[in-house]
Amino acid sequence: MKAKFSFYAKHIFLCLAFLFLPYAFTSTNNSILSLPNLYSNSHDRIYLFIYFSLLCFFYFNYYYLIPKYYFLNKQLLYFIIIACFLLLFLWISKFLDHPNHNFLDFGNDPAPFINQQGSMGNDFRPPPPMPNGPFKKMGSPPTQFGHTVLVYLLGVISSLFFAISGRLINVEKEKMKSELAFLKAQINPHFLFNTLNSIYALALKKDDKTPDAVIQLSELMRYVITNANEQVIDLNKEINYINNFVSLQKTRLGQTVMVDYKVSGNTFGKAITPLILISFIENAFKHGVNPDQTSVICIYIDIFDEELTLLVSNKKTFSVKSETGIGLQNTIERLALLYPERHQLKIEDTTDKYTVNLSIKVG
């Protein structure tokens, strides 16, 4: 609602500024603005009408002509229509300004004068400058042709510029949406595959914790199905999701892994893109657990003001460089798409340790 109000307020301000444009810097009293005298000055009324018409044409061109003709590969017809409207505006401005003169007369319109005998002479002189009006400082009768052509062409060019720029932005947004949809489609099966493997390991050992693990999995999947397609979600829900995931991993791994998991800070009023943190935590459990010895995984989440910091570290299972999984790579790409210039990611990948340090704006 606030964005809509701002949009309309901006357009109203720009329209009013445009309508008063010909009256700026034209006062004989050294003032910045000469207000139009619409009651007694017909020329001011003409200028206001012409500028208002050109303003209406700007929106007509932007919202109708450009989408219907220019963007549908009918550029020749579009420019013919533009030329016809220009001639129409020139005729209207000439007719209103000097209805008795030739339409093709682009210069100052001469006026006959009466000689001393009271008869019309053959000489011509321009009429005295108008006492009022937006061009009273120029010392000659105003002609609307030059101003109409200039403002008209500026309106056409600017509307084309804004329409083409908006179209490119929309195309980029649609491209981003399709990329995110593709990445999310990969994340969900990847998560399900890893978690089912965990429960399968419990079932093989006939562990009494298997039913609890199934319940935890159902809660996790409910969260994924409900919130994965949201743009942002309450940070508290995302933290609860991570809590459940870590608890499920502890249930599966038992004493073979020591998980140092801490969350500090206030999550109230904060929002984050769903499933943007979990891949780094999943990766630690995937590559940091050694069944033959006790492994240590550290997960620290700290929220301070509008910044969330995630630190994940694990000792690698083998002394060779681990291969980055598809879920982790997708998360890195999602961060680049959704949080440009709003996150910092540092990954240290050594022969025996893998550390992720992520800082992200969640305000």
DSSP assignment of 203-242: HHTT-TTHHHHHHHHHHHHHHHHHHTT-S-EEHHHHHHHH
* pTM, 2 dp: 0.52
The sign one gets for the Cα dihedral 118, 119, 125, 128 is positive
Judge whether residue 161 has pLDDT over 70.
yes
* Cα 23 to chain centroid, rounded: 35
Residue range 119-131: mean pLDDT, rounded = 44
Where do the structural domains in the chain lie, given as residue ranges?
2-167, 207-361
Residue range 92-103: mean pLDDT, rounded = 62
85-96 pLDDT tens trace: 888 888 877 766
Q: What span, in angstroms and rounded, lies between the C-alpha atoms of 207 and 216?
A: 15
- Tokens for 342, please give them: 């709003």
**pLDDT for position 344:** 95
Judge whether residue 106 has pLDDT over 60.
no
Q: What span, in angstroms and rounded, lies between the C-alpha atoms of 359 and 59?
A: 44
- 307 secondary structure, DSSP code: E
Judge whether residue 104 has pLDDT over 60.
no
129: CB partners within 8 A, 6+ apart: 136, 138, 139, 140, 141
Going by C-alpha positions, the residue among 281, 320, 286 that lies closest to residue 299 is: 281
**pLDDT for position 111:** 44
Going by C-alpha positions, the residue among 86, 339, 120, 92 that lies closest to residue 111 is: 120
Of 176-180, 207-211, 283-287, 295-299, give the lowest mean pLDDT range. Answer: 176-180
Residue 119's pLDDT band (cuts 50, 70, 90)? very low
Question: E-strand spans in 31-156?
Answer: 111-114, 120-125
Of 114-123, 190-199, 276-285, give the lowest mean pLDDT range. Answer: 114-123
Residue range 171-200: mean pLDDT, rounded = 67
**pLDDT for position 213:** 83
Q: What span, in angstroms and rounded, lies between the C-alpha atoms of 131 and 138?
A: 11
Judge whether residue 265 has pLDDT over 80.
yes
- Tokens for 60, please give them: 């007509």
Share of the chain above pLDDT 70, in %: 67
Dump the DSSP string for 92-123.
HHHHHH-TTS-TT--SPPPEEEE-TTSSEEEE
Give the residue, 109 or 353, on which the prediction is more confident: 353
User: What is the SS3 assignment for 299?
Assistant: strand
User: What is the SS3 assignment for 23?
Assistant: helix
**pLDDT for position 25:** 46
Torsions phi, psi of 312, nearest 5? -125, 130
* Cα 303 to chain centroid, rounded: 27
Q: Are 111 and 13 in contact (CB under 8 A)?
A: no
Matching residue, tokens 């990611």: 345
What is the rounded average pLDDT for all residues in the chain? 75
Q: 207-361 adopts what CATH topology?
A: Heat Shock Protein 90 (3.30.565)
**pLDDT for position 355:** 94
Q: What span, in angstroms and rounded, lies between the C-alpha atoms of 319 and 352?
A: 5
Judge whether residue 347 has pLDDT over 90.
yes
DSSP bridge partners of 66: none
**pLDDT for position 169:** 80
Judge whether residue 287 has pLDDT over 70.
yes
Give the residue, 136 or 190, on which the prediction is more confident: 190
**pLDDT for position 154:** 81
Q: Which secondary-structure segment (H or E) carries 202?
A: helix 144-204
- Tokens for 23, please give them: 């009256």
